[in-house]
Amino acid sequence: MSKKDTEHDDDFALFKDAVQGVKKLRQDTIIQQPKKNTKQKEITRSNREASDSEFYFSDEFVPLLNADGPTRYARDDVSTYEVKRLRRGVYVPDVFLDMHGMTQQEAKRELGAMIAYCVKNEIHCACVQHGIGKHILKQKAPLWLAQHPDVMAFHQAPLEFGGDGALLVLLSIPEK
């Protein structure tokens, strides 16, 4: 035997003595959990929120709205001062929903999704642009908004936000 082989055997014997009595681990790697499809869950959750919000909108129920003057509505617990500020454009909308060219069903769904988005992101004022067109959405949008519990008030928008073809909506954000 050469000198290299004896050194190699000595090293091997020394190593065997050092690790004597050591037990083999059953598993020495970490198994990563499969990634959950969070994007798909987010999409289904937002669709569910939109359909939940759409639940409030009925075509059979017609709330009593003021027929004379511009389109406006306020819950009983909202002061007239807030409605006046809404009318004057003191509240600047952070979210705009353009319903031009939508069917009634699409408009309901988008309106519900917008309200859910505003509540989730704590946005107090939004603008709904229903357009003038054939007056279908112009007549239906105020009726739907008046039925939703998170809508405190709405008023025909000032000219800079759409005038006769839009509504400024004031939303109540629940305390967390």
Number of residues assigned to the chain: 176
| pLDDT at site 96 | 94
Q: Which CATH class is domain 36-169?
A: alpha beta
pLDDT digits (tens, 9 = 90+) for 118-166: 988 999 999 999 988 778 888 888 888 888 888 999 999 998 988 889 9
Please give the Cα distance from 136 to 130 (Å, whole number).
Answer: 9
Average pLDDT of the segment spanning 60-76: 76
Please say whether the beta carbons of 126 and 97 come within 8 A. Answer: yes
Please give the Cα distance from 19 to 128 (Å, whole number).
Answer: 75
Q: Record the pTM.
A: 0.66
